Structure 1
Amino acid sequence: MAARKKKSRKGDDALPYAERKSRDILVAARDLFFRRGVEAVTLEEIAEAAGVAKTTIYYKFGRKEDVFVAVFDQLGENAVAGFPGDVDLNAPPRDTLLRLCTQLMTALANRELMGPEPLFLLEAKRNPELGRRFFEMGPGRMRSALEEIIKAWVDRGHLDVTDTKEAAEDLAVLCQGLLPIELQIFPDLKLSEDEIAHRVVRGVDKFLAIYGAKG
């Protein structure tokens, strides 16, 4: 009975032991870093929170700074998970743009990424290479995906765009408005799904009014 209970305790306990330990370390480190800051957290505290030995962290990641880089990389991957997904390039762009911009806005409204004095920005100031890496993995990858989709729509006559990079950035700005600033000034601000949808519809319709093919 005991063995059977242990097996069914968590669905993701089916993960291989090594992967499960890596996951536990990153979850614990992420929580500690965001609550207390990287400087204030020790490897011993991460090990205790993750239920592993300190040597296990050294073996899997290295120093505390290396653990933070792994957390940082995971955030970048999570920000673009599932983006852009399946896109029907022959269909009118609006429905697809609404879906893509909802993904973008949901990532942007993530407090861990864009809260007051966000941790990743503070660490990027200390390590510019880390900031560049995060941008390329997250926002940069999303922009590149949007550029490719916009270009395909231009080729099919759905959009009238000269500079695809500029158009992709315009789309993001039209949807987010002053949200990045709002999130930093108002620490308790949280967007509901309806509020995100309102901003997305407004932004996408303005984008199409500017770039939609005429006639």
Structure 2
Amino acid sequence: MRTPSSGRSAGRPRDHEKGRAILDAAWFLFLERGVEATSIEAIAAAAKVSKVTLYSHYPDRTALFEASVRREMERIEQAQGLHRHDTATPFIDQLRAFGLGIMFFLTSRPAIDFYNVVAGELRRHEDLARAFYDLGPGRTRANLAALLNAGVRSKQLKKLDPHIAAEELFGLWQGFTNFQFSLGIDIDATRADLSARVERGVRIFMLAYGAKPVHSRLR
């Protein structure tokens, strides 16, 4: 049994494993139940820590929610690194890779749960909502715009406004899938069609903006 003197001394770093377990448990419960319906007691039980331990890491549920969202923002930021411009890869293949990466992410269960359950809570945290948008959707748009701008410089694309064109291309990829996944309609069929959907979007986009003719039958 630990004695009081064997506990964490002043200045000693907190137990990162327990902190991670608390965030994991909180995020799972937030997505499953919603933020308001998730109690501190439930989070502590799921993380297998005491309430005292939980409060030593996070003063209240709001702080825990914000920490959970910021961790998800960091994961999105890391994923965005996969979409940096690669001059060794043909431009059209870069568009396909970008589209596949973002669409498979957006149709993943964690992303669907986030937007269905947690997005409403974000509206009550204006600064956090803006930060999440800038780092998530905003950065996705900026990265895609940068890729399109590189296509203009390399003469793969006609002159265009990269931010508007990025929104148009993303719209071709996404279509109505956000409604389908939010409502749980035709999920398996939509996921099975993602690769073909991305390919169609790239081809239509290149027909509109490509500097050279695209000889490919749309499926």
Which category describes the TM-score, using the shorter chain as reference length?
0.7 to 0.9
1:127-149 CA distance string (max 9 Å, x none)? 23332121111111111111122
Corresponding residue of 2:39:
42
Matched, 1:20 2:17: yes
> Could you tell me the TM-score, scaled by structure 2's length?
0.80
Question: Quick check: 161-170 or 122-131, which moved more?
Answer: 122-131
Larger Rg: 2
Corresponding residue of 2:86:
88
1:197 to 188, 195, 202: 195
1:47-84 CA distance string (max 9 Å, x none)? 11112222332232331111111222223333453324
- CA 1:144–1:36 in structure 2 vs 1: closer, same or farther (change >3 Å)? same
SS at match of 1:81: helix
- Give the AA of the match of 1:210: A
Give 5+ residue unaligned stretches, structure 1: 1-15
Over the matched positions of the two proteins, sequence identity in percent amounts to 33
Question: Quick check: 110-119 or 62-71, which moved more?
Answer: 110-119
Q: Is the 8 A contact 2:104 2:194 kept in 1?
A: yes
Corresponding residue of 2:144:
146
- CA 1:89–1:116 in structure 2 vs 1: closer, same or farther (change >3 Å)? closer
Aligned residues: 200
1:59 to 50, 56, 61: 56
Question: Quick check: 197-206 or 70-79, which moved more?
Answer: 70-79
- CA 1:117–1:149 in structure 2 vs 1: closer, same or farther (change >3 Å)? closer
1:62-116 CA distance string (max 9 Å, x none)? 3111111122222333345332435323643111111111111012112333359
Runs of 4+ residues deviating >6 angstroms: none
SS at match of 1:206: helix
- CA 1:126–1:187 in structure 2 vs 1: closer, same or farther (change >3 Å)? farther
| 1:35-184 to 2 correspondences below 5 Å | 35-85=32-82, 87-89=85-87, 91-115=89-113, 118-184=116-182
Corresponding residue of 1:207:
205
CA RMSD for the aligned pairs? 2.5
